[in-house]
Amino acid sequence: MRKYTSRESSMIKNLKKEKPHICYYCRKFITNEEELTVDHKTPLSRGGLTVPDNLVIACKDCNLEKDSMTEDEYYVYLEVKKELGNYNFIIITKINNLLKEQEKILDMYRDLHEEKRLLNYKKMKVLKMITTEHFNAARGYMLARELQNYSLKLIRLDEELIHETSMEELAKYNIMQLNTQKREIFKKLIEAYKNKDEKFKILLKKAM
């Protein structure tokens, strides 16, 4: 990029001396000298000139972010960035809620597995008694009822485990769907601005 002429440099210095220093783009007051910059609304690389109508005070962050975009392009970029920020917040909130739900399901899943392990242990103890002990009819009836009780509880637990597995899979699926929706929104935005130059499209992607 060519160097500024003495007239252009003087113009930029004089603009920096004007008070108050308010960023043309974000309307933030600039109190730190290091944050104070002068921006070309239409960049030099895009055919802009160093003339008063094309020069504005800008904070360092906006100037760096605007890069080689024109003023109009930058406002579109900021609008898209805001929309994506809002959309991201909604998506992330939904995903976080689903992750919390998934964690509860996993906790319940672990509890059910532990309960199943204990029931199997008790069932095996009863089976061992039946095969190794000598007992009368009353004792045999009691052990048979106990065995039946544990078996029924295990069947119920297996049904609950199947249900919890389905709920976990559903939570995973919903998270995947939300991420897919997010990617589709980004694709549509890129498609909507496909006629913009490559540099602008790269900056647009940065907003995402």
- Report d(CA 37, CA 106) in Å as an integer: 53
- Per-residue pLDDT at 2 exceeds 70: no
CA distances from 156 to 108, 120, 161, 166 (A): 14, 13, 9, 16
Q: Kindly state whether residue 123 falls inside one of the protein's structural domains.
A: yes
Whether the predicted model's global pTM rises above the 0.85 cut = no
Residue 1's pLDDT band (cuts 50, 70, 90):
low
Mean pLDDT, the chain, rounded, equals: 80
Q: What are phi and psi of 18, to 5 degrees?
A: -65, 140
Q: Kindly state whether residue 1 falls inside one of the protein's structural domains.
A: no
**Which residue spans within 22-119 are E strands per DSSP?**
36-40, 55-59
Return the minimum-mean-pLDDT range out of 110-114, 122-126, 139-143, 177-181: 177-181
Domain that holds residue 155: 71-207
What is the distance, to the nearest Å, from the Cα of residue 84 to the centroid of all Cα atoms in its chain? Answer: 11
Q: Kindly state whether residue 55 falls inside one of the protein's structural domains.
A: yes
Mean local confidence (pLDDT), 123-142: 81
104 and 19 together in one domain: no
**Do residues 66 and 207 make contact, with C-beta atoms less than 8 angstroms apart?**
no
- pLDDT (0 to 100) of residue 130: 81
Count of domains for the chain: 2
- pLDDT (0 to 100) of residue 48: 92
Pairwise pLDDT comparison (68 vs 59), residue with the higher score = 59
Q: Nearest CA to 40 among 73, 80, 79?
A: 73
27 and 48 together in one domain: yes
- pLDDT (0 to 100) of residue 79: 80
25 and 111 together in one domain: no
Residue 74: burial class (beta carbons within 10 Å; 0-12, 13-18, 19+): buried
Residue type, 121: Y
Identify the domain boundary among 51, 66, 81: 66
Pairwise pLDDT comparison (153 vs 91), residue with the higher score = 153
Q: Kindly state whether residue 96 falls inside one of the protein's structural domains.
A: yes
Q: Kindly state whether residue 83 falls inside one of the protein's structural domains.
A: yes
Residue 98's pLDDT band (cuts 50, 70, 90):
confident
Integer-rounded Cα Rg, in Å, for the chain is 34
138 and 201 together in one domain: yes
What's 54's domain CATH number?
1.10.30.50
Residue 191's pLDDT band (cuts 50, 70, 90):
low
25 and 116 together in one domain: no
- Report d(CA 38, CA 118) in Å as an integer: 73
145 and 108 together in one domain: yes
82 and 15 together in one domain: no
